[in-house]
Structure 1
């Protein structure tokens, strides 16, 4: 049985996914002209044009401009094809990297929300935690207030290539905790493992969950220090604070739900390292 050699514009459109309006447009600009024109003016394509149509569709999905596609189609050679594919492969890898990073950020927020839903208001506990890689910003002692310090942290992280969509946390030094500084200087960090410059150490942590004022973490830290004493523990490292639920998940700031944690050790144990380890 002989196979049909010519495809109407409707059939060609169905096979390629390119609309008939776009096929007519591609014809007008010389990008993809039908091989045959019927006496009635109808456009007819051949099966060997399917490859070109699929390539055009793929390149358009990648954001390649029509003029670039037309220039390539008009003078295509193996060398031109290799150059075009190499350029597009580089773009694809950049997009893949962006998508992977976005997926990572979404998973972080989802994990944090799940953790929040698993704990009660004003809950205190002691648990082992794995080490976590973070991007730690420097302190900004010249900042006028916490708002300015936070903005400076965003600027610093952005200037170092950190995606500012990553969740942010604050770190309070062990020294400030033990000396009872009324308004300890917080160092901000981003939960960006792939671009991290420091580690939140593994170990035993005293943890507090609940709603708290982001600008006044010292109140929660004081409560946590009291809990640590009741558990016959002692502070062995820095404190870390994060919002598990913020305006991405709830409407009002008074609904924000946070977690404060301090690296600790049992009084009978040997001292362990507790500072964030910077490369």
Structure 2
């Protein structure tokens, strides 16, 4: 009766590669029963069951270092405790992956919207309330002070919120609407925060966009598009007997992720409105 298997026979029976068995030998995880004078590795038939345990644990994503310790402590209590710890690790990974999955869904929805946006369209619709964390006031987007403000702001926001896939927002004082180019007025940057995560942020840094009626439209960050947009927006309000009812909210739908040209950036402008009172 055959007592030993060559490395190729052991690898084939276990469904792994010779290279894997050589590596396991090198790190003292699973060594051959003997090495012949010719340097060939030979494995005992009974070693197959120990290799089976290693492959089981590897399939459960247990690290090789932990498998090494596991093999020296094989009893029910240690195995149960080890599996419980591994389950907690997997649960943490699932939670992280679900966050990543949610961000990917948001990015896909965002860029799908971007593919179908219409620069000529203006919409009057009801918007649900949303909450944001807000930066300090930024006077100009292209000076050193603005870089410092952005840096402090982004560092204060958790990465899962910062990279959630929702467009970064901007808040402009409503009085700027009557300026020649309200898009160039001082503003504050916004990051949307889910309601169940607001408690992670200081209350004074949280601002809420009220639910209500908004007139919205898309524009490109290029002076011709901005001027055209401003005129269309003001004319729309005049024609529909609407007036400004709060501050100006902007969402940056297209950013550096999809274009390296600043003039290709696409903003959605949302202005809260109400019906003009008749005299």
TM-score (norm 1): 0.71
More helix by share: 2
Aligned to 1:71: 69
For 1:41 and 1:168, locate their aligned partners in 2 and report how far apart those are by CA, in whole Å: 60
Aligned to 1:149: 146
1:143-164 Cα offsets, whole Å, 9 max, x none, are 6633543653453343342433
1:234-269 Cα offsets, whole Å, 9 max, x none, are 222332212222222234222222211112223369
Structure 2 residue corresponding to 1:204, chosen from 213, 234, 238: 213
- After TM superposition, give the deviation of residue 54 of structure 1 in Å: 2.3
Q: Is the 8 A contact 2:219 2:229 kept in 1?
A: no
SS of 1:146 mapped into structure 2: coil
SS of 1:120 mapped into structure 2: coil
For 2:179 and 2:139, locate their aligned partners in 1 and report how far apart those are by CA, in whole Å: 23
Label 1:22 to 1:254 Cα distance change in 2 as closer, same or farther (>3 A).
same
Bigger mean CA deviation after superposition, 248-257 or 26-35: 26-35
The correspondence of residues 1-279 of structure 1 with structure 2, limited to 5 A, is 9-10=7-8, 13=11, 18-33=16-31, 41-46=41-46, 48-49=49-50, 51-58=52-59, 61=61, 64=63, 66-132=64-130, 134-140=131-137, 145-147=140-142, 148-149=145-146, 151-163=148-160, 164-166=162-164, 167-177=167-177, 184-193=185-194, 195-196=197-198, 197-213=206-222, 224-267=233-276
Bigger mean CA deviation after superposition, 157-166 or 247-256: 157-166
SS of 1:244 mapped into structure 2: strand
Bigger mean CA deviation after superposition, 30-39 or 255-264: 30-39
Question: In angstroms, what is the RMSD of aligned CA positions?
Answer: 4.0
Instruction: Kindly tell me the number of residue pairs found equivalent between the two proteins.
Output: 259
Label 1:10 to 1:203 Cα distance change in 2 as closer, same or farther (>3 A).
farther
- After TM superposition, give the deviation of residue 121 of structure 1 in Å: 2.3
Label 1:70 to 1:180 Cα distance change in 2 as closer, same or farther (>3 A).
same
1:35-90 Cα offsets, whole Å, 9 max, x none, are 7889985325555335412234236x46x3x3333123222444433443344334
Gap regions ≥5 residues in structure 2: 199-205
- After TM superposition, give the deviation of residue 190 of structure 1 in Å: 1.7
- After TM superposition, give the deviation of residue 207 of structure 1 in Å: 0.8
- After TM superposition, give the deviation of residue 170 of structure 1 in Å: 0.7
Q: Is the 8 A contact 1:150 1:188 kept in 2?
A: no
Q: Is the 8 A contact 2:119 2:217 kept in 1?
A: no
- After TM superposition, give the deviation of residue 14 of structure 1 in Å: 5.2
Gap regions ≥5 residues in structure 1: 270-279
